[in-house]
Amino acid sequence: MNMQNATKGKTNAATLACIGFGEAAKAFVAGWQGEDIGLGFAAYDIKTDAPDAQTASAKQRDYVDAGVVDGKTLKQLLQDASAVFSLVTADQAQEAARAAAQTIRPGTLYFDGNSCAPKTKIANARLIDAAGAHYVDTAIMAPVHPKLHKTPILVSGPYAQLGQRRLAELGMCASVEPGEVGRASSIKMIRSIMVKGMESLVAECLLAGRRAGVEDIVLASLEKSWPGFGWRDRASYNLDRMMVHGVRRAAEMREVALTIADLGIDNSMSLAITDWQQTIGALGLEAGQDDLALRSDRILAALDAAKTTGTGE
């Protein structure tokens, strides 16, 4: 059914709409396609409007590969949407909500799954609710692989119960976090200090260890102190995440830093995590072979090259 919808080139009256079609949206669609939910899928990503034809065509290929309708424009995407999932980068979440509010149908559920500060989510909710739609603060609480649409989700706000029921109908695993908009996101943001912070600490520790020629000794010592943690494999995975998603994670960490500052707490650690995520992500490296030493060497070489050319973050 989904591929047939895609070939028609238009949405129908029973469509799940994704604003943004990156890792999270692709994972959700892949999971939904395994459920008998009787709906089609459509997406709009601003990359399809990129002046670079290669970027635009690559995103359109993503639509075809996933079996979703190309929404063409945000307005067209939202015309027939039964529910909307906003899954853009953190720095584009408010712009997406502002644009969606111009054309979203009253009564439509708007799941804001972006990694944003509570303050940002509250502002987004005002925009969507003023348009007559129903805003749901949505926090994705784990990597979307391998669980896809079964990834744990928290929802909060006035429409959380309604949203949770709708997500359950879609085969998703959502729990209501009692409280106003921003409650679910505050949990996600504060958790991210540890998740993204561990990645950044591992990067700084083991890149330094690799350069000093002592990374194997450091890893052995860490494994002795925290047996069973699997430091080498975990470190390789952490570098993978930063290489592939560092820029997006840095955008999230800026929202984390805002969250912490709004709580009246020193956010210097969050800002340092932001810097490491941005620095490694901006190198534009593919993760490549799952080998800690090889990934470390490639990152170090790219960092050195960036310093030489003056392009380092």
Residues 6+ apart with CB under 8 A from 203: 238, 239, 242, 276, 280, 299
Compute the distance between CA of residue 86 and CA of residue 13 in angstroms, rounded to an integer.
19
Partners of 135 in the β-ladder: 110
Compute the distance between CA of residue 311 and CA of residue 251 in angstroms, rounded to an integer.
19
Asked if 83 and 156 sit in the same domain, the reply is yes
Q: Which of 130, 162, 180 is the last residue of a domain?
A: 180
Report the percent of the chain where pLDDT is more than 70: 95
pLDDT value for 186: 98
Of the listed ranges 92-101, 116-125, 153-162, 304-313, the least confidently predicted one is 304-313
Asked if 18 and 57 sit in the same domain, the reply is yes
- Helix crossing, 215-225 with 231-262: angle to 10°? 80
pTM of the model: 0.88
pLDDT tens for 11-57 read 344 589 999 999 999 999 999 998 888 889 999 999 999 999 999 99
16's enclosing H/E stretch is strand 15-19
**Domain limits for position 143:** 2-180
Asked if 135 and 253 sit in the same domain, the reply is no
Residue 9 — very low, low, confident or very high, per pLDDT cuts 50/70/90? very low
Partners of 43 in the β-ladder: 18, 70
Report the CATH number at residue 209. Answer: 1.10.1040.10
Asked if 86 and 209 sit in the same domain, the reply is no
Q: Edge-to-edge strands of the sheet including 134-140?
A: 69-70, 40-44, 15-19, 81-86, 109-112, 134-140, 153-156, 174-176
Asked if 114 and 199 sit in the same domain, the reply is no
Report the CATH number at residue 156. Answer: 3.40.50.720
Compute the distance between CA of residue 101 and CA of residue 295 in angstroms, rounded to an integer.
43
Residue 5 — very low, low, confident or very high, per pLDDT cuts 50/70/90? very low
Res. 252: pLDDT tops 90: yes
Res. 4: pLDDT tops 70: no
